């Protein structure tokens, strides 16, 4: 059940304690992919995972703006502080829990959100009347995960599968040529760069031409199967905190 499309009476009839919250970002994804990529992909994975799960799941609307100051030099990128982001996610989960949907998977589409989501989920599990676990789709697609760039093969492939009209196919070559091979500028295992503009001219990392729609279908299948398995584990878990030793 997608909350945005349901009525409150539909929501009231939902007999589940499971919810998924897609978490995205509005940020540059190179000259060929839309600023909303991370929200679109998170939403597609959340919906496919909820469908693949054998049981009812409430699908919340996507959180569209996240921790993305690292893309600030590229026009259209929006961001909030980690504090604001964590608080927003925490209060959103609390409102889901208020209705009885107190086991929540945060389905994330943006690398910059990862550490803040892990931290806030821990706070929710320890201190609130809810249990939340973050899930980042591109970490759950097997060997493909090694090729995650930015506006690169994985995101371009998934977009071609779920929203092909949003991929500017006539700019794919330029996207590849102006992009970087890897994320960051590393010396002695330390990343010297804080902003993506330090190492990529057009915002791309990785080769977007290496991501066709078939690969996108495979990514969606892998990610949604992983999410369905996670929902199963979250549903059956004893989420209470262990007693003090």
Contact segment (CB under 5 A) with Zn ion among 35-43, 132-140, 185-193, 198-206 equals: 35-43
Output the smallest distance, CB 26 to Zn ion, in A.
10
* H-type alpha helices, the chain: 8-13, 37-52, 82-98, 114-127, 153-162, 172-177, 213-236
Query: If residue 69 lies in a helix (H) or strand (E), which one and from where to where?
Result: none
Q: Which one of residues 17, 38, 43, 207 is an interface residue with Zn ion (CB under 5 A)?
A: 38
Q: Of 58 and 208, which has the nearer Cβ to Zn ion?
A: 208
Q: Of 37 and 196, which has the nearer Cβ to Zn ion?
A: 37
Among left, alpha and beta (phi > 0; psi -120 to 50; other), residue 218 is: alpha
Contact segment (CB under 5 A) with Zn ion among 36-44, 52-60, 161-169, 216-224 equals: 36-44
Q: Of 102 and 155, which has the nearer Cβ to Zn ion?
A: 155
Calculate the CA 160 to chain-centre distance: 17
Output the smallest distance, CB 131 to Zn ion, in A.
27
Output the smallest distance, CB 193 to Zn ion, in A.
17
Q: Which residue has the tokens 């889901």?
A: 96
Q: Of 38 and 82, which has the nearer Cβ to Zn ion?
A: 38
Contact segment (CB under 5 A) with Zn ion among 38-46, 96-104, 129-137, 233-241 equals: 38-46
Cα–Cα distance for residue pair 121/116, rounded to 1 Å: 8
Output the smallest distance, CB 3 to Zn ion, in A.
24
Output the smallest distance, CB 150 to Zn ion, in A.
6
The residue with its CB nearest to Zn ion is 38
DSSP strand pairing (190-191 vs 186-187): antiparallel
Output the smallest distance, CB 56 to Zn ion, in A.
29
Cα–Cα distance for residue pair 173/194, rounded to 1 Å: 27
Q: Of 10 and 181, which has the nearer Cβ to Zn ion?
A: 181
Write phi, then psi, for 54 (nearest 5 degrees).
Answer: -85, 75
Nearest to 112 by CA among 62, 65, 76, 154: 65
Q: How many CB atoms are closer than 10 A to CB 96?
A: 23
Q: Of 130 and 167, which has the nearer Cβ to Zn ion?
A: 167
How many residues of this chain interact with Zn ion, rule: CB under 5 A? 2
Q: Which residue has the tokens 């959103």?
A: 92
Cα separation values, 3 from 14, 19, 60, 104, Å = 10, 10, 5, 14
Contact segment (CB under 5 A) with Zn ion among 5-13, 37-45, 97-105, 125-133 equals: 37-45
Instruction: Rule CB under 5 A: say whether 70 interacts with Zn ion.
Output: no
Q: Of 82 and 155, which has the nearer Cβ to Zn ion?
A: 155
Catalog residues that contact Zn ion under the rule CB under 5 A: 37-38
């Amino acid at each position: 059940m997608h909350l945005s499309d349901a009525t409150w009476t539909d929501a009231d009839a939902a007999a589940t304690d499971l919810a998924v919250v897609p978490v995205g970002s509005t940020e540059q994804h190179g000259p060929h992919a839309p600023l909303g990529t991370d929200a679109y992909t998170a939403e597609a994975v959340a919906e496919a995972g909820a469908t693949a799960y054998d049981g009812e799941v409430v699908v919340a609307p996507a959180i569209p703006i996240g921790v993305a100051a690292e893309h600030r030099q590229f026009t259209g990128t929006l961001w909030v502080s980690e504090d604001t982001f964590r608080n927003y996610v925490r209060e959103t989960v609390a409102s889901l829990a208020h209705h009885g949907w107190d086991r929540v998977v945060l389905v994330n589409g943006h690398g910059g959100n990862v550490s803040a989501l892990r931290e806030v989920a821990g706070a929710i599990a320890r201190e609130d009347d809810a249990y939340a676990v973050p899930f980042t789709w591109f970490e759950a697609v097997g060997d493909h995960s090694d090729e995650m760039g930015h506006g690169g093969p994985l995101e371009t492939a998934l977009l071609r599968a779920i929203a092909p009209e949003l991929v500017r196919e006539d700019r794919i070559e330029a996207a590849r040529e102006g992009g970087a091979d890897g994320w960051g500028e590393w010396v002695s295992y330390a990343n010297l760069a804080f902003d993506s503009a330090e190492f990529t001219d057009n915002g791309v990392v990785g080769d977007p031409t290496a991501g066709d729609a078939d690969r996108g279908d495979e990514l969606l299948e892998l990610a949604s199967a992983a999410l369905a398995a996670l929902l199963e584990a979250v549903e059956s878990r004893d989420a209470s905190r262990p007693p003090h030793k």
